[in-house]
């Protein structure tokens, strides 16, 4: 198989690579990456260690990482996706497959597509539809774009789980963005509801009322999970929710819920809390110990 490169080597890229390495019958060629953490002395050692652990070449520059790569996975934060495309397009091989897996609005994806295609490479809009753990490379993906079928075949060869959403860039990302209105909006509502209930000393009564109203959800477990997602991934989720808000504006609709959810995600993510034990009370208390305004 031809060489694979990733732009960004965070949680998603590492999950995909570790999954490929574990897949019986998958023949992997060289895998390389460029991550901007390599430019920061305090972050460089951990990046290189992660690359070494997964037998990935850690490029010192985009040019080095992308040399000879037939397939490039862009796996950065939503707010850096267009910047990443801008910085790497001149190093893409002609007809290389550029899989933009970032959580961005359709307009952002379209702008990145124009850059990639102007460089002679092939752009495919990829939406990652659930957390990358525990499924790793089998995390469900949606694909769209004129070459979505080509990307689909390539991903299947890596043991990945992908479906085609359409032949236009933006179709896959639209589904992801609008789903996030609900999923990450519910997380933000969880924080607002449960932190206030905990501070007022009525969280058990609130949870009991929610459980009685909608017994199909384990509200205590779901609330604990939602807070953990925000504590650990809030900054990244906030960047995605900004793209969700942009998507709503592109559709001529107000973005007030998505924008408020982005604020909650960012505020909790920036607290720098190490995720406490799997307990709603412990997670709520860890947040409430900080200065929330």
Which pLDDT does position 1 carry in this prediction?
Answer: 43
Separation between Cα atoms, residue 165 and residue 157, nearest integer Å: 19
Using DSSP's 3-state secondary structure scheme, residue 123 falls into: strand
Which pLDDT does position 18 carry in this prediction?
Answer: 96
Half-sphere exposure (CA, 13 Å, Cβ side) for 69? Answer: 30
Residue pair 247/257 in contact by the 8 Å Cβ criterion:
no
Whether the predicted pLDDT of 2 surpasses 80: no
Q: Which class for 200: exposed (0-12), middle (13-18), buried (19 or more C-beta within 10 A)? A: exposed
Q: What are the structure tokens assigned to 131, written together?
A: 């957390």
| Residue in the structure block whose two tokens are 């490029």 | 59
Which pLDDT does position 293 carry in this prediction?
Answer: 76
> Where residue 291 falls among pLDDT bands split at 50, 70, 90?
confident
Closest CA to 82 of 119, 111, 107, 39: 111
What dotted CATH number matches 173-288?
1.10.1040.10
> Where residue 274 falls among pLDDT bands split at 50, 70, 90?
confident
Cis preceding linkage at 134, omega within 30: yes
Separation between Cα atoms, residue 237 and residue 78, nearest integer Å: 9
CA distance to 94, 191, 199, 279, 281, per residue, from 285 (Å): 53, 12, 9, 10, 6
What confidence tens digit (pLDDT) does each residue in 246-262 have?
999 999 999 999 999 99
Closest CA to 178 of 254, 236, 114, 247: 247
Whether the predicted pLDDT of 277 surpasses 90: no
Q: What is the location of CATH 1.10.1040.10 in the chain?
A: 173-288
Separation between Cα atoms, residue 253 and residue 181, nearest integer Å: 13
Closest CA to 173 of 123, 109, 233: 109
| Residue in the structure block whose two tokens are 């007022």 | 200
Whether the predicted pLDDT of 21 surpasses 50: yes
Separation between Cα atoms, residue 36 and residue 26, nearest integer Å: 29
Q: What percent of the chain shows pLDDT beyond 90?
A: 94
Q: What are phi and psi of 31, to 5 degrees?
A: -120, 130
Q: What is the location of CATH 3.40.50.720 in the chain?
A: 3-169
Residue pair 148/167 in contact by the 8 Å Cβ criterion:
yes
Separation between Cα atoms, residue 285 and residue 287, nearest integer Å: 5
What confidence tens digit (pLDDT) does each residue in 113-156 have?
999 999 999 999 999 999 999 999 999 999 999 999 999 999 99
> Where residue 24 falls among pLDDT bands split at 50, 70, 90?
confident
> Where residue 28 falls among pLDDT bands split at 50, 70, 90?
confident
The stretch 45-59 carries a mean pLDDT of 97
Whether the predicted pLDDT of 77 surpasses 50: yes
What confidence tens digit (pLDDT) does each residue in 208-224 have?
999 999 999 999 999 99
**C-alpha dihedral sign at 130, 133, 139, 141:** positive
Q: What is the mean pLDDT of the chain?
A: 96
Separation between Cα atoms, residue 151 and residue 145, nearest integer Å: 9
Q: Is beta strand 141-144 parallel, antiparallel or unpaired with respect to 122-128?
A: antiparallel
Separation between Cα atoms, residue 256 and residue 121, nearest integer Å: 37
- Helix runs in 137-218, H state only: 148-157, 171-200, 203-213
What confidence tens digit (pLDDT) does each residue in 112-124 have?
999 999 999 999 9
Separation between Cα atoms, residue 39 and residue 48, nearest integer Å: 11
What confidence tens digit (pLDDT) does each residue in 93-109 have?
999 999 999 999 999 99
The stretch 180-184 carries a mean pLDDT of 97
What dotted CATH number matches 3-169?
3.40.50.720
| Residue in the structure block whose two tokens are 């592109």 | 250
* Residue 278 DSSP symbol: S
Higher model confidence: residue 208 or residue 2? 208
Which pLDDT does position 292 carry in this prediction?
Answer: 85
């Amino acid at each position: 198989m031809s060489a694979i490169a990733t732009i960004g080597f965070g949680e998603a890229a590492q999950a995909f690579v570790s999954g490929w390495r574990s897949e019986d019958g998958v023949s992997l060629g060289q895998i390389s990456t460029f991550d901007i953490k390599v430019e920061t002395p305090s972050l460089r050692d951990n990046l290189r260690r992660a690359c070494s652990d997964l037998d990935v070449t850690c490029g010192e520059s985009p040019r080095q990482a992308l040399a000879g790569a037939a397939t490039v996975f862009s796996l950065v934060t939503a707010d850096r996706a267009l910047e990443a495309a801008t910085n790497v397009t001149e190093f893409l091989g002609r007809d290389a497959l550029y899989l933009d897996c970032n959580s961005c609005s359709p307009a952002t994806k379209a702008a990145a597509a124009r850059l990639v295609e102007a460089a002679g490479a092939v752009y495919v809009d990829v939406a990652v539809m659930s957390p990358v753990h525990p499924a790793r490379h089998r995390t469900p993906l949606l694909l769209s774009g004129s070459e979505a079928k080509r990307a689909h075949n390539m991903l299947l060869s890596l043991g990945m789980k992908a479906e085609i959403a359409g032949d236009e860039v933006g179709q896959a990302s639209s589904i992801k963005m609008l789903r996030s209105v609900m999923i990450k909006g519910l997380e933000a509502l969880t924080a607002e509801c449960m932190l206030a209930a905990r501070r007022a000393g009525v969280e058990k009564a609130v949870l009991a009322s929610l459980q009685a109203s909608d017994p199909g959800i384990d509200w205590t477990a779901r609330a604990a999970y939602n807070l953990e997602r925000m504590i650990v991934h809030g900054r990244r989720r906030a960047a995605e929710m900004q793209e969700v808000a942009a998507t709503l504006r592109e559709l001529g609709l107000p973005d007030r819920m998505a924008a408020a959810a982005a604020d909650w995600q960012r505020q909790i993510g920036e607290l720098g809390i190490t995720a406490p034990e799997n307990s709603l009370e412990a997670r709520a208390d860890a947040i409430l110990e900080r200065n929330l305004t």
